[in-house]
A and B are shown apart, each in its own frame.
Chain A
Amino acid sequence: MSPARRPRLEVLVTDREQAVARLHQLAGARPALRSAFQPAWQHIASGADPADLEAWASGILDLANVNAGPGCLVAAWQISVTLQPRLGLVALGDVVRAAAELCRRAGSRAAQAGLNACPTVAARLHGAGEMLQWWRSLHHLAQTAPESVALVASNVAAILEPAGLGGWQSFLSAGLKLGGTDRARRLAFFGLEDEAARRMLARLGETVDFQHVERGLKLFLTALWANPPALRIAPHGMPGSGGVGPGGWPRRTSLAGRIVLMPEVYRGVSPETARLLFRAAAAHASAHVALGAGRFPVGQLKPLQLALVGLIEDARIEALAMARFPGLRRLWAPFHTAAATGAATAPGLLARLARALFDPTYVDTDAFVVKGRALFAEHAGRLDDPAMSRRVGNLLGNDLGQQRLQFNARTYVVEPAYRDDGLGLWDFTDPPAERADQIEVVVDAMRPQPQAGEAPPRGEPERDPLAGGRAREAASDGRGVVVATYPEWDRAGNVERPAWTTLRDVPPPLGDAARIDALLAARPDLRQRIARLVRGARLGLPARLRRQIDGPDLDLDALLEAAIAMRRGEPPDERIHRDTVRLARDLSVSILLDCSQSTGERVAGYGAGPPVTVLDVQRQAVALLAEATAPTGDPLALRAFASCGRDDVRLFRLKEFSEPWGAPAKARRAGLQPGLSTRLGAALRHAGAELAAARTHRRLILVLTDGEASDIDVADPLDLVEDTRRVSRQLKARGIDVFGVTLDPCGTGAGAAMFGAGNCMKVTRLDDLPARLAELYFRLARR
């Protein structure tokens, strides 16, 4: 833009009402701009609200006004076209204005680099709010290191990808600190040539994910509440929801009855913060479950009201939780960072209100926040009445509604980050017909109901009064919660296909525990034989050896006898020492049961009594083994599996490692029914992954199968045999022994091929199974 035109433009820009018209004039006046502007304008303007267009155009004029140059303007139009659906024109106007500000501080090259980076930033970060924060970080950088702004902006992908917004900000401040006044050093840092910069990026890329903290969280919650909700990873890729970040990763926890769905990772925070965030989030969600009271009917509430009622309910629950556990305040407080500054946006005010209700020392004079505080304080005596959340939330919702602040349920994310997405509070079932559409939008916008298989946690059969209609519907297809995906070996292609199988955790149907006890009682002979085995093995007990030649202690009685013998003039027995030897035990075992259709076959003439199935015999054998090994204290887990194609490998958790062999485990064991196919490799990989976490020195997987791997989508069973063989070997290499027990009356199975001849036991007479299994166990346990 030529200096000669500037005065004219300045006059025009002040006339806000006419920004669109002025923009046309500006673009029309220069051929170079015109050819870029026309198509962009057509794209942007079609169907847009005139007021939004004005707001956007005035941002563009700001950019023109700081002499940013045609390159910047064209870049601004381009990102407006690409990001309009995501951010909306008003926010884009703000983005361009932020670019203008940057241009003022660091020049047009920096502004253009910033604009060019916007699509990447939008894809990595969440919404206009974070986008503008990102721009502010550049403004800040421009104050001390204007020369580096363009450079760092052009490296945005490399930094934002691993680090997220928080990491980006730490990266910038680290660069400023390290570079100091040394311009060259700063350039090297922000150009990612400096070693320190690379190291920092690598470190920021380290994440602590749910798997790292799962056990600790479970223990923590059990300590707090004795009977805490179950924690699961939230399924990835739920469509267009405010609680979902780029790439479909959930960013907030979600409540589904007595299940808490947790994000797999919290992006953009340091590993230490992530640990705290997981803990804070788990404490918050579990407090809802422990202290909350069922779901609210949605009724006629609008999204903003839903959000506000949720916010009040959060404050109420946290107040109750902190009355019970005062220290929780210190866990949650660091995440309340909302500040009483900046423009009043709906999400901003919600975050500030959340802080105001949490933090009595926080000062905020905004009328809405003040009113929210006052209303909450009025109800302080009725904190145990959930109806107060609804009342106060509604009142505040009306208030905020009258301020005409925009609230976009699709992009709204609950703050602070440890809180849940709020949807678990609502009962979306049975909407009145005329409201169905709107509610559909709300549900859709915020979060779809939890996916399949949100079954009640173990020990809490079906009766989940909070389960919503959709959840129940989804669960009834029985596909369960996706817990992992695993690769599978492709024999023909000689490659490993990544993420080929999907493993789902399906709650086992409950049967009658008494049935297992009856099975045990039916075979007193076997029971005794196995009990003898246990006693004979004397597992884990120190054995005391008296009258030894050598040893750390004296055997007092032997010593006395020797002394008496010497006085009598007889040769004394020199074995006067005592010693103990401890047969060390350090073993975890996972038993993997094939419960595919073929295990439903009947076995004639097994023991006395009516005919039974292969599964029944397995049941009995495993029950006997679990009973017999209980005294050894060896951690023993029971898993069953069956599959229906590669995306539906089902895993039934019948007993956990630390769980006693009691009625709940027995009921799960009893309820298992034969069905579907045998995709052994996937189940084995999962059992291996679980065992890998065991702390014991020895880890053993015992597979009980009929030795015939198959699945509906596998043409050649040899593929699965080969896959299983490879997994067994891989596990072996990782220190996990796999041993196959094949129930193979006809001797046709591929047990040896899958597990290796030395690691496989073929049982042809089913009658033998219980005793053989126990013998095997103790043999393996000792070696």
Chain B
Amino acid sequence: MNLSPFRIAAEPYYRPVGNEVSIFEAAYRDRLPVMLKGPTGCGKTRFVEHMAWKLGRPLITVAAHEDMTAADLAGRYLLSQDGTVWHDGPLTLAVRGGAICYLDEIVEARQDTTVVIHPLTDGRRMLPLEKRNELLAAHPDFQLVISYNPGYQSAVKDLKESTKQRFIAIDFTYPEPEIEAEIVMREAGTEAGLAETLVDIAGRSRNLRGAGLNEGASTRMLIHAARLVGAGVGLEQAARASIVLPITDDAEMREALTAAIAACV
């Protein structure tokens, strides 16, 4: 089995914000499954990439979605010239090959899909492949990581208690302003003043979380804005295009955000 396409060659830039790196390393030592919690665009994906690189493991990422079935994760029989052939799903691939499997936005999947990870994430470390009548023992290097954004969930759409309680959790929030500015500078290649202003702008929008916005501007948005500025767009225009317009369709909210942004520059 060749997992080399899933290996990460160069170090992905990740700026630690707290003790997340050491917690993850400790968890990996015992192959404990990890849940990354936090709002969108705050560095969860980047963190897993970084850790996979650091631990020297291939990384297989699956973006969960509404229509995902257990077969999409585990694998299924496909047709071939002379019958059917089994095709491993991404999870099975990781389990066999000893990769880190990252299930992004796990709650998007239906609960009957997510239960397939249960035997993998307890003492058994097994993946039952029902269709194949196989009970696959996980490779010793295999680890499961999921991401979970608590902000968007509701009682109707949430992880089962029995799923949640299998994981170590690391909480991601937006970093301190200085650190966030450092990340923006580094990722977008801009100067400090601009990055600081953008982080300040993000702070304005984050104040409106729960007061009309589901979520404030993410680090990712700031990087986008900084790149637009780098390409010659004016700061307020860039903030509008990369923050105000994507984040809300509510005209009053847009106006208020625009005014608050204007106050920052």
Chain A contact residues, CB within 8 Å of chain B: 215-217, 219-220, 222-226, 279, 283, 325-328, 330-331, 531, 534-535, 538-542, 544, 553, 556-557, 560, 563-564, 578, 580, 630-633, 658, 660, 695
What does DSSP make chain A's interface, helix, strand, loop or mixed?
Answer: helix
**Residues of chain B in range 195-245 having any CB-CB distance to chain A below 8 Å:** 204-205, 207-208, 210-212
- What are 11 inter-chain pairs, A to B, with CB distance below 8 A? A216-B255, A222-B207, A223-B257, A283-B263, A327-B264, A328-B263, A541-B156, A557-B76, A580-B67, A632-B154, A658-B212
A658: chain B residues within 8 A (beta carbon):
210-212
Compute how far the CA of A219 lies from the CA of B208 in the bound complex, rounded to whole angstroms.
7
Q: Is B253 in the interface zone, CB < 8 Å from A?
A: yes
Q: Are B260 and A223 touching (Cβ within 8 A)?
A: yes
Q: Which of B67, B110, B155, B207 contacts A223 (CB 8 A)?
A: B207
Q: Which of B3-11, B77-85, B91-99 lies on the face that meets chain A?
A: B77-85
B69: chain A residues within 8 A (beta carbon):
557
B76: chain A residues within 8 A (beta carbon):
556-557, 560
Q: Pick the most buried of A224, A330, A578, A580: most chain B CB atoms within 10 A of its CB.
A: A224
A-B residue pairs, 6 tightest by C-beta: A219-B256, A631-B154, A223-B260, A631-B155, A325-B263, A223-B204
Q: Are B212 and A225 touching (Cβ within 8 A)?
A: no
What does DSSP make chain B's interface, helix, strand, loop or mixed?
Answer: mixed
A633: chain B residues within 8 A (beta carbon):
154
Q: Are A544 and B67 touching (Cβ within 8 A)?
A: yes
Q: Are A563 and B71 touching (Cβ within 8 A)?
A: no
CB distance from B208 to the nearest CB of A (A): 5
Q: Which of B156, B204, B212 contacts A540 (CB 8 A)?
A: B156
Q: Are A223 and B208 touching (Cβ within 8 A)?
A: yes
Q: Are A222 and B208 touching (Cβ within 8 A)?
A: yes
A224: chain B residues within 8 A (beta carbon):
204, 207, 260, 263
Compute how far the CA of A293 lies from the CA of B24 in the bound complex, rounded to whole angstroms.
46
B211: chain A residues within 8 A (beta carbon):
219, 222, 658
With contacts A219-B208, A223-B260 taken as known, whether A327 is within 8 angstroms of B265 at the C-beta atoms is yes
A538: chain B residues within 8 A (beta carbon):
156
Compute how far the CA of A541 lies from the CA of B263 in the bound complex, rounded to whole angstroms.
39
Considering the complex, give the chain B residue whose CB is closest to the CB of A321: B263
With contacts A219-B253, A220-B259, A658-B210 taken as known, whether A534 is within 8 angstroms of B79 at the C-beta atoms is no
Q: Which of A279, A531, A660 contacts B259 (CB 8 A)?
A: A279
Interface string of B49-73 (1 = CB under 8 A from A): 0000000000000000011010100
Q: Are B79 and A563 touching (Cβ within 8 A)?
A: yes
Compute how far the CA of A560 lies from the CA of B87 in the bound complex, rounded to whole angstroms.
13
Q: Are B252 and A215 touching (Cβ within 8 A)?
A: yes
Compute how far the CA of A693 lies from the CA of B212 in the bound complex, rounded to whole angstroms.
14
Q: Pick the most buried of B66, B77, B250, B263: most chain A CB atoms within 10 A of its CB.
A: B263
Q: Are A560 and B78 touching (Cβ within 8 A)?
A: yes
Q: Is B157 in the interface zone, CB < 8 Å from A?
A: yes
CB distance from A274 to the nearest CB of B (A): 14
B208: chain A residues within 8 A (beta carbon):
219, 222-223
CB distance from B217 to the nearest CB of A (A): 11
B204: chain A residues within 8 A (beta carbon):
223-224
Compute how far the CA of A708 lies from the CA of B211 in the bound complex, rounded to whole angstroms.
37
CB distance from B225 to the nearest CB of A (A): 16
Q: Is B192 in the interface zone, CB < 8 Å from A?
A: no
Q: Are B262 and A695 touching (Cβ within 8 A)?
A: no
Interface string of B150-182 (1 = CB under 8 A from A): 000011110000000000000000000000000
Considering the complex, give the chain B residue whose CB is closest to the CB of A215: B252
Q: Are B156 and A325 touching (Cβ within 8 A)?
A: no
How many pairs, one residue from A and one from B, have CB atoms within 8 Å of each other in the complex? 93
Known contacts A327-B262, A535-B156, A631-B157; 10 further A-B pairs (Cβ under 8 A): A219-B252, A225-B207, A328-B263, A331-B262, A541-B157, A542-B66, A557-B71, A560-B79, A658-B211, A660-B210
Considering the complex, give the chain B residue whose CB is closest to the CB of A330: B262
A217: chain B residues within 8 A (beta carbon):
256
Q: Which of A326, A631, A695 contacts B156 (CB 8 A)?
A: A631
B side interface size, CB within 8 A: 34
A531: chain B residues within 8 A (beta carbon):
155
Compute how far the CA of A586 lies from the CA of B199 in the bound complex, rounded to whole angstroms.
34
Q: Which of A283, A553, A630, A660 contacts B155 (CB 8 A)?
A: A630
A283: chain B residues within 8 A (beta carbon):
263
Considering the complex, give the chain B residue whose CB is closest to the CB of A217: B256
Compute how far the CA of A325 lies from the CA of B77 in the bound complex, rounded to whole angstroms.
61
CB distance from A547 to the nearest CB of B (A): 12
CB distance from A637 to the nearest CB of B (A): 15
CB distance from B175 to the nearest CB of A (A): 18
Considering the complex, give the chain B residue whose CB is closest to the CB of A325: B263
Q: Pick the most buried of B77, B210, B255, B260: most chain A CB atoms within 10 A of its CB.
A: B260
Compute how far the CA of A216 lies from the CA of B157 in the bound complex, rounded to whole angstroms.
31
CB distance from B258 to the nearest CB of A (A): 9
Q: Are B256 and A326 touching (Cβ within 8 A)?
A: no
Compute how far the CA of A540 lies from the CA of B257 in the bound complex, rounded to whole angstroms.
28
**Residues of chain B in range 129-161 having any CB-CB distance to chain A below 8 Å:** 154-157
**Residues of chain B in range 179-199 having any CB-CB distance to chain A below 8 Å:** none
CB distance from A286 to the nearest CB of B (A): 11
A535: chain B residues within 8 A (beta carbon):
156
Q: Are A223 and B210 touching (Cβ within 8 A)?
A: no
B67: chain A residues within 8 A (beta carbon):
544, 553, 578, 580
Q: Are B260 and A220 touching (Cβ within 8 A)?
A: yes
Compute how far the CA of A553 lies from the CA of B155 in the bound complex, rounded to whole angstroms.
28
Q: Are A544 and B66 touching (Cβ within 8 A)?
A: yes
Compute how far the CA of A215 lies from the CA of B248 in the bound complex, rounded to whole angstroms.
15
Considering the complex, give the chain A residue whose CB is closest to the CB of B214: A633
B207: chain A residues within 8 A (beta carbon):
222-226
B84: chain A residues within 8 A (beta carbon):
560, 564
B263: chain A residues within 8 A (beta carbon):
224, 283, 325-328, 331
Compute how far the CA of A556 lies from the CA of B211 in the bound complex, rounded to whole angstroms.
42
Compute how far the CA of A182 lies from the CA of B250 in the bound complex, rounded to whole angstroms.
48
Q: Pick the most buried of A326, A535, A553: most chain B CB atoms within 10 A of its CB.
A: A326
A544: chain B residues within 8 A (beta carbon):
66-67, 110
CB distance from B261 to the nearest CB of A (A): 8
B77: chain A residues within 8 A (beta carbon):
560
B155: chain A residues within 8 A (beta carbon):
531, 534, 630-631
CB distance from B195 to the nearest CB of A (A): 16
Compute how far the CA of A696 lies from the CA of B99 in the bound complex, rounded to whole angstroms.
47
Compute how far the CA of A343 lies from the CA of B118 in the bound complex, rounded to whole angstroms.
85
Compute how far the CA of A79 lies from the CA of B253 in the bound complex, rounded to whole angstroms.
50
With contacts A219-B212, A223-B208 taken as known, whether A630 is within 8 angstroms of B154 at the C-beta atoms is yes
CB distance from A663 to the nearest CB of B (A): 14
Q: Are A534 and B156 touching (Cβ within 8 A)?
A: yes
A327: chain B residues within 8 A (beta carbon):
261-265
CB distance from B243 to the nearest CB of A (A): 12
CB distance from B79 to the nearest CB of A (A): 5
B79: chain A residues within 8 A (beta carbon):
560, 563-564
CB distance from A43 to the nearest CB of B (A): 53
Compute how far the CA of A166 lies from the CA of B41 in the bound complex, rounded to whole angstroms.
48
B156: chain A residues within 8 A (beta carbon):
534-535, 538-541, 631-632
B154: chain A residues within 8 A (beta carbon):
630-633
Q: Are A325 and B252 touching (Cβ within 8 A)?
A: no
Considering the complex, give the chain B residue whose CB is closest to the CB of A219: B256
Compute how far the CA of A695 lies from the CA of B194 in the bound complex, rounded to whole angstroms.
36
